[in-house]
Structure 1
Amino acid sequence: MDYGYARVSAKDQSLARQLDALQELGLNDDVIFADKASGKDFNRPSYQRLMRKLKPGDVVFVKSIDRLGRNYQEIIEEWRSITQQKGAHIVVLDMPLLDTRNDKGELTSVFITDVVLQLLSYVAQMERDNIKQRQAEGIASAKARGVRFGRPKIERPGIYEKTKHAYEKGSITRREAADRLKVSVTTFDTWMKEDRKALLEQTA
């Protein structure tokens, strides 16, 4: 039995290009499974339904390897689960080398498939590391230019000092102090902590 699998990461993305490629193979809607979900793992509804249907000798067609998933270490494990444990085949349309129908148990074919998967895993990991490095460098550069990240700090109102003294004397509660300042109790507590920290730094 031949099956198709398609995936996009977000609900507003289109599956059309992948579905067209699978339908050109002669696959109809009954045997095409599609998810609109992240490729970070394989816990996807349609994918899991497909896996439950797979039997030895069946073939799964995907447009490209990243449609199967994004985590290449998990892809390698899933690939071996499908081909070795289930005895089914995988065909990646955009990469003819990844077509296990050609393996026929030949050591060379299996070796080539493993090498390609490992290479893709390495490239994907390098890409992720480079992205993280560029993000870190971008954040450091922005901070050096004075760019602030996160939510902007709430400015303390003019009556803050008077309200703080009233709280410290026990005249009002934390809630009353926050209400007077028109902020949450959490914000009032944060201001108090900042004041105590600044005082300690001055006396250190």
Structure 2
Amino acid sequence: MEMGYGRVSAKDQNPERQLVKFRELGIDERYIFVDKLSGKDFNRPRYQAIRLMIREGDLIYIDALDRLGRDYDGIIAEWKYITREVKADIVCLDNETLFDSRKFRTMGDFGKVMEDQFLSLLAYVAEQERKKNRQRQAEGIEVAKAGGVKFGRPKVYVKHNETFIRIYNKWKSGAITATEAMKYLDLKHRTFYRRMKEYEEIYIGEKHV
């Protein structure tokens, strides 16, 4: 049986380019598996599904080695599990000359040595690329923070929020309950009381300046 495994790192990324390659090979849609998750580990639902299906003699296509994963040791372990324990084969479409396990299999023990060398080199490159991406992301966040960009869920700034002040006054005077005030402001219990405290500290602080 021929199967295809594709992966993109985020839900908003499009795996279509990989899917086109699998379809051009004539792989049945039922046997094309795609994850939209990071390649940092192998706890991916669609990868685990294809892993359970693989049997001896099957052929699994991937677009590139880093689509399998980006963890150095993990890539090698998974490749060897599929090709040597299960006795299925893997083909990397972006470099079939080097990464077609069927070719290594025909070379016997020497083929295993050659396969190990190529795997180690390419898996190392894939992991280094992942580390670079993570570093670039961290550096980008630091630059953004230095430029005043704030990350995380934005706070509701209550000081000059007329709706908030009106609801606050009604709640404080007893005209409405805290539950009603939370509903009007669309705030959770803990957030509501935190915002009230913030407002009172700002308001009282300014009144005593």
Structure 1 counterpart of 2:148, one-letter code: G
Aligned residues: 186
1:85 aligns with 2:85: yes
Give 2:137's aligned residue.
Answer: 135
1:148 aligns with 2:130: no
The aligned runs of 1:51-200 (5 Å cut-off) are 51=54, 54-55=55-56, 58-66=57-65, 69-72=68-71, 73-95=73-95, 96-101=97-102, 102-104=104-106, 106-156=108-158, 157=161, 160=165, 163=168, 167=172, 174-175=178-179, 178=182, 182-184=185-187, 185-192=189-196, 194=198
Q: Where do 5+ consecutive residues of structure 1 fail to align?
A: 199-204
The alpha-carbon distance between structure 1 residues 105 and 48, as it changes in their structure 2 partners (threshold 3 A), is same
1:98-134 C-alpha deviation (Å, 9 max, x unpaired)? 2333334634321221122222222222212211211
1:86: Cα distance to partner?
1.8
1:161: Cα distance to partner?
9.9
The alpha-carbon distance between structure 1 residues 161 and 43, as it changes in their structure 2 partners (threshold 3 A), is closer
1:6: Cα distance to partner?
4.3
1:5-50 C-alpha deviation (Å, 9 max, x unpaired)? 2425469642122321x24xxxx649x8212323643532762464
Structure 1 counterpart of 2:185, one-letter code: K
Distance in 2 (CA, whole Å) between partners of 1:163 and 1:196 is 10
The TM-score, its normalising length taken from structure 1, stands at 0.66
Give 2:31's aligned residue.
Answer: 33
1:194: Cα distance to partner?
4.1
Which of 33-42 and 109-118 deviates more?
33-42
1:49-83 C-alpha deviation (Å, 9 max, x unpaired)? 641xx22xx15152533476224443322211122
The alpha-carbon distance between structure 1 residues 177 and 60, as it changes in their structure 2 partners (threshold 3 A), is closer
Distance in 2 (CA, whole Å) between partners of 1:3 and 1:132 is 34
Q: Where do 5+ consecutive residues of structure 2 fail to align?
A: 203-209
The TM-score, its normalising length taken from structure 2, stands at 0.65
The sequence identity of aligned pairs, in percent, is 29
Distance in 2 (CA, whole Å) between partners of 1:182 and 1:63 is 50
1:93: Cα distance to partner?
3.8
Which of 81-90 and 35-44 deviates more?
35-44
